[in-house]
Amino acid sequence: MSPISTVTQANRASGSTEAASGATAFKVDSPNVRYGADGIESDYLYDTTVVSRDAESGQLKAKPTKVHYQFKTKTNVGRVGLMMVGWGGNNGTTVTASILANRKGISWETRKGTQQPNYFGSLMMASTVKLGVDETLKDVYVPFNQVVPMVHPNDVVIGGWDISGLSIGDAMRRAQVLPVDLQRQVYDELHQLKPLPSVYYPDFIAANQGERADNTLGGTKQEQLDQLRKDIRDFKQANQLDRVIVMWTANTERYADLLAGVNDTADNLLQAIAQGHDEIAPSTLFAAASILEGAPFINGSPQNTLVPGIIDLAERERSFVGGDDFKSGQTKIKSVLAEFLVNAGIKPLAITSYNHLGNNDGRNLSAPAQFRSKEISKSSVVDDMVSANNLLYSKGEHPDHTIVIKYVPSVGDSKRALDEYVSEIFMGGLNTISIYNTCEDSLLASPLIIDLFMMTELMTRVSYRVDSEAKDEWQPFHSVLSILSYMLKAPVVPPNTPIVNAQAKQRMAMENILRAFVGLPPNNEMLLEHKAFH
């Protein structure tokens, strides 16, 4: 396998205004922030409110509290690699070709004229956050990726595995996602890239994927685990990388059965792999290999890859995991619209989602077991919003939620999504919102891969401690990266942590956590500076 090599800032597309890896747009002028040769340290008071209920009166009592955190962020990004499972699929080839086009400044001709490469759709690369206000009280915004030092996607080394042995160039042509003129210009370089053999268990994906499976690993599950670990080590060594991040962007698997003594603890999981147990999924094998090699693993598909044994193993090895399922089009709209309706005091009664698509993901999802995995990941997206409003929903009440996915080959990657929201409004009235959404599936999902990669890489360089007076040792964040929730349909969170699906809350959390790393207070929209009498 010949991965895409990294480039220096000097080798970027001429005229680019994008910052290099590790660049920031500002410095914080505060005694609570210290800039050193190798990192940024900040003191941060976390304001929260603890609520209790009086035992006699039943009255709620709200007590403001402050917790003193210290954060340390290493500023040297170093050389970073991304290994994708399913590299030869629609998402993997689209990401690879698009990064190459951005890196080299490759433009292409369309019916409307010349198109320049960009990172639109990436939260990190194409959105801004409010830094503060200037002396005239006007808002000042900075790129999201320059709040703290982050890796630039143009600098990433890419590799990975696939059950299909096609070169990445040929796989890109097979996917039929990118314009032909762009494909033509990147094909020769991508044709040199070959995916490593991957793990193929026919029981876990649809039977219609068998014709692709000509590049698979043999041997026992233990031998396959050992080979995957070696693949990660070899990739890291060959490209002189400081870190490798592994991401599953392959086919949706069926749900694995959760079995006591098999995948419930780290030791049981490793023993089950050694014994070749049938309920060890390919994605779980990749997750275990990544954890054991200290490489963060992100699950971009809806199956339950991160079984309890994987979480336990990640915690034991102090390695990061995140998942599940890229939140790209229809589900992202649902998490925004449901939040709007509930927060407006409007009661969604029924949410019906229908989509049809013609790419290989749709083909795989035409099998019932794989569709069930997708249905589960999509169905929970409104749960936290419903549970937050007991004025609209009594205990146990929930909107009717129906999800349909159909495979229509002629549509290709241009997925059609239809949604209907029926809500109860004032005095028993009904309101119906219908949405028809055409979305190019891989062009929405691919920027999420970039965002997940960039945010995960950042978290490998961040440590914290609570109350510096106690002289606690610096420690990493919890192994389950809930900060990634914005990009995922069914966020996996640490034990005893609430799951948040509401899109605005997820973005606010990510933005304000990054601000805390550089000692800035959370953003709010009180705008008191504009409301006071002058």
User: Is residue 134 in a domain?
Assistant: no
Residues present in the chain in total: 534
Asked if 335 and 501 count as a contact pair (C-beta separation under 8 A), the reply is: yes
Domain range spanning residue 427?
338-441
Asked if 279 and 203 count as a contact pair (C-beta separation under 8 A), the reply is: no
Computed on alpha carbons and rounded to an integer, the radius of gyration of the chain in Å comes to 24
Helix H or strand E encompassing 442 = helix 441-459
How far is C-alpha 291 from the geometric centre of its chain's CA atoms? Answer: 17
Angle between helices 180-191 and 90-104 (to 10 degrees): 90
Within a 10 A sphere around the Cβ of 412, how many other Cβ atoms? Answer: 18
> What one-character-per-residue DSSP string does 153-198 give?
GGG-EEEEEESS---HHHHHHHHT-S-HHHHHHHHHHHHT--PEEB
Task: Select from 369, 364, 243, 362 the least CA-distant residue to 295.
Answer: 243
* Total domain count, the chain: 1
d(CA 256, CA 314): 19
d(CA 35, CA 525): 29
User: Is residue 432 in a domain?
Assistant: yes
Task: Select from 336, 316, 318 the least CA-distant residue to 327.
Answer: 336
Task: Select from 340, 488, 362 the least CA-distant residue to 421.
Answer: 340
Task: Select from 259, 500, 473 the least CA-distant residue to 380.
Answer: 500
d(CA 299, CA 306): 8
Domain containing residue 377: CATH number: 3.30.360.10
User: Is residue 386 in a domain?
Assistant: yes
d(CA 153, CA 126): 12
User: Is residue 388 in a domain?
Assistant: yes
Asked if 236 and 81 count as a contact pair (C-beta separation under 8 A), the reply is: yes
Task: Select from 95, 118, 115 the least CA-distant residue to 107.
Answer: 115
pLDDT tens sequence for the chain (534 residues): 445 443 333 334 433 445 566 677 899 999 999 999 999 999 999 999 999 998 888 899 999 999 999 999 999 999 999 999 999 999 999 999 999 999 999 999 999 999 999 999 999 999 999 999 998 889 999 999 999 999 999 999 999 999 999 999 999 999 999 999 999 999 999 999 999 999 999 999 878 888 889 999 999 999 999 999 999 999 999 999 999 999 999 988 989 999 999 999 999 999 999 999 999 999 999 999 999 999 999 999 999 999 999 999 999 999 999 988 899 877 888 888 999 999 999 999 999 988 888 777 777 666 666 666 666 656 677 888 888 898 999 888 889 988 888 888 888 878 888 999 999 999 999 999 999 988 888 999 999 999 999 999 999 999 999 975 556 789 999 999 999 999 998 899 998 888 888 889 999 999 999 999 999 999 988 877 777 655
User: Is residue 4 in a domain?
Assistant: no
Task: Select from 84, 92, 82, 83 the least CA-distant residue to 361.
Answer: 92
Asked if 490 and 403 count as a contact pair (C-beta separation under 8 A), the reply is: no
User: Is residue 275 in a domain?
Assistant: no
Asked if 112 and 163 count as a contact pair (C-beta separation under 8 A), the reply is: no
**Residues labelled as active-site residues:** 325, 374, 415, 489
User: Is residue 379 in a domain?
Assistant: yes
pLDDT at 235: 98
d(CA 318, CA 309): 14
Q: What's the Cα-to-Cα distance from 99 to each of 124, 172, 399, rounded to whole Å?
A: 14, 13, 41
Per-residue three-class SS string for 251-298: CCCCCCCCCCCCCCCHHHHHHHHHHCCCCCCHHHHHHHHHHHCCCCEE
Cβ contacts of 180 within 8 Å, gap of 6 or more: none
pLDDT at 371: 61
SS3 state at 216: strand
User: Is residue 299 in a domain?
Assistant: no
pLDDT at 259: 95
Name residue 210's amino acid. Answer: G
DSSP state of 358: -
d(CA 191, CA 212): 18
**Conformational region of residue 36, where left means phi above 0, alpha means psi within -120 to 50, and beta covers everything else:** beta
Q: What's the Cα-to-Cα distance from 45 to each of 62, 67, 483, 516, rounded to whole Å?
A: 18, 5, 19, 9
How far is C-alpha 416 from the geometric centre of its chain's CA atoms? Answer: 23
Cβ contacts of 517 within 8 Å, gap of 6 or more: 40, 42, 71, 73, 147, 148, 462
pLDDT at 1: 44
Q: What are the phi and psi torsion angles at 34 (to 5°)?
A: -125, 125
